[in-house]
Amino acid sequence: MDSVDEQLRKNHPPETKETYDRLLSQGYGDQDARRLIASAVASESFMVLTHEERFDLARYIATLRNLPRVPTSYAWT
C-alpha cells in the first residue's frame, strides 16, 4: 500500500484523499479504506501491465469514485 500512502501524502491525485475521506465517513476504518483504494491501484496496474495500456487517470479516478464497489477489470473472466 505504499502507493496509496504516497498518493495521500502528496494529495496527488486529490481524488485519492477525497475517496479516503468518503470511505471513512461511510464507516470504513483506516486500513479498510486504504485497502479499497489499493484495489483501484491494482486494477489500473493490471490494465497497464497485462493489456500494455498507458496509465489512464480518468479511468483510475472513475474506479476510485465507484468504491467501495471493488473493481473487476483485473478479473480473469
Domain annotation covers residue 56: yes
Q: Does residue 24 fall inside a structural domain?
A: yes
Do the domain assignments include residue 12? yes
Structure pTM? 0.89
In a domain? residue 72: no
Specify if 71 maps to a domain. no
Domain assignment present for residue 77? The answer is no
For cell 496509496, the residue is 4
pLDDT of residue 33: 98
- H-type alpha helices, 1-77: 2-10, 14-25, 30-50, 57-66
CB 74 within 8 A of CB 46: yes
Write the burial class of residue 13 (CB in 10 Å: 0-12 exposed, 13-18 middle, 19+ buried): middle
pLDDT value of residue 74: 54
Residue 23 inside a domain? The answer is yes
Q: Which domain holds residue 49?
A: 2-66
Q: Is 76 domain-assigned?
A: no
Q: Which of 58, 47, 46, 67 is nearest to 13 (CA)?
A: 58
- pLDDT string in tens for the chain (77-residue length): 799 999 999 999 999 999 999 999 999 999 999 999 999 999 999 989 998 889 999 999 999 999 999 877 555 43
In the prediction, which pLDDT does 37 show? 97
Split into its structural domains, the chain has a count of 1
